[in-house]
């Protein structure tokens, strides 16, 4: 995907910038340039992205070990390193996974990766339109909404700047899930960006260089996203600290964070 002959005219996207942060190869020159701008201003971004990825791996493993055999990954980007389907199938062979992203290139790459896999699919969809995503034919074909589902919303809600809209949209997805389902959420932490006191610069980079403006939220604002859910201990903590069932009484200083993360359960 690094072939320069394929990068001409390609605008940056959040999905491919994230792939670049993780050290992946599914990104273009525009993505690398935009991501380098963000990292120059916020050097912790790459570590935060990797901490987020490690959290997702830990969280979906926990959910699969709790007996959940199907997953819906919203704003999934490109499922390369430590992808959801490979992780959950170590605990639940034959687990079914749907990846959803608005970026057509991310979806195309995902379809290539999933070629021949009858129990996993990538679909193009806008996370901000829950009815369209939830009623997509491939989503309904792969997932049984009468059985528990693991909903993964990792590093995506910070692309919905309106706080009330983000809460409402996530609530719509949660309302479609049966008891026993789990919701995995991670989100850029305002507390970390405030230490640099230039958080609007990152928002501007995403808004100017991609089609998806970004924002950051406080720990309390991220906790509100889990309204109506039973939190899995340790609740909402730094992504680096999250381990299911392990209490965290003194979160690390904001400078060591970058990403708030947590898992909720429908009872």
Q: CA 267, CA 265: separation in Å to the nearest integer? A: 6
Which 8-state DSSP code applies to residue 178? P
Q: Are 199 and 217 in contact (CB under 8 A)?
A: no
Q: Is 70 helix (H, G, I), strand (E, B) or coil?
A: strand
For 96, the enclosing helix (H) or strand (E) is: strand 96-101
**Residue pLDDT, tens place only, 44-102:** 777 778 888 899 999 999 999 999 999 999 998 877 667 899 999 999 999 999 999 99
The Cα 154–Cα 184 span in angstroms is: 7
Q: What is the DSSP string of 10-57?
A: PPP-HHHHHHHHTT-S---HHHHHHHHHHHHH-TTHHHHHHHHHHHHH
Query: Among 58, 136, 57, 82, which residue's Cα sits nearest to residue 121?
Result: 136
| Per-residue pLDDT tens over the stretch 161-215 | 889 999 999 999 999 999 999 999 999 888 887 766 544 445 555 454 445 556 8
pLDDT in tens, 242-251: 999 888 766 5
pLDDT-derived band at 28 (thresholds 50, 70, 90) equals confident
Q: How large is the average pLDDT for residues 219-235?
A: 95
For residues 229 and 47, which has the higher predicted lDDT (pLDDT)? 229
Q: pLDDT tens, 30-41?
A: 888 888 887 777
What's the confidence (pLDDT) of residue 9? Answer: 59
Mean pLDDT on 111-139: 95
pLDDT recorded at residue 30: 86
Which residue, among 114, 101, 55, 57, has the nearest Cα to 81 in the 3D structure?
A: 57
pTM above threshold 0.85: no
Q: How confident is the model at residue 8 (pLDDT cuts 50, 70, 90)?
A: very low
Using pLDDT thresholds of 50, 70 and 90, give the confidence band for residue 256.
low
| pLDDT for the residue numbered 123 | 97
Higher-confidence residue of 51 and 6: namely 51
The mean pLDDT of 137-144, rounded to a whole number, is 98
Confidence of residue 4 (pLDDT cuts 50, 70, 90): very low
């Amino acid at each position: 995907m690094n072939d320069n002959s394929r990068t001409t005219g390609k605008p940056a996207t959040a999905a491919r910038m994230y792939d670049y942060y993780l050290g992946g190869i599914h990104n273009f020159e525009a993505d690398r340039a935009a991501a380098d701008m963000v990292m120059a201003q916020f050097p912790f971004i790459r570590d935060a992205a990797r901490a987020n990825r490690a959290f997702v791996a830990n969280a979906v493993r926990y959910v699969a070990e709790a007996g959940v055999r199907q997953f819906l990954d919203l704003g999934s980007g490109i499922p390369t390193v430590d992808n959801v389907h490979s992780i959950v199938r170590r605990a639940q062979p034959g687990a079914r996974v749907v990846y959803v992203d608005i970026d057509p290139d991310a979806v195309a790459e995902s379809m290539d990766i999933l070629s021949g896999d009858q129990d996993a699919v990538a679909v193009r969809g806008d996370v901000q339109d829950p009815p369209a995503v939830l009623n997509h034919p491939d989503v309904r074909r792969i997932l049984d909404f009468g059985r528990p589902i693991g909903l993964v919303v990792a590093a995506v809600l910070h692309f919905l700047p309106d706080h009330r809209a983000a809460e409402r949209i996530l609530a719509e997805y949660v309302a479609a899930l049966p008891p026993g389902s789990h919701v995995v959420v991670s989100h850029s932490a305002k507390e970390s960006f405030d230490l640099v006191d230039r958080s609007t610069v990152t928002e501007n980079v995403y808004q100017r260089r991609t089609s998806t403006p970004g924002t950051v939220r406080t720990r309390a604002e991220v906790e509100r996203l889990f309204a109506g859910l039973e939190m899995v201990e340790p609740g909402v903590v730094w992504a680096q600290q999250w381990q299911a069932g392990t209490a965290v009484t003194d979160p690390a200083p904001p400078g060591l964070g970058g990403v708030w993360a947590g898992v909720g359960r429908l009872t």
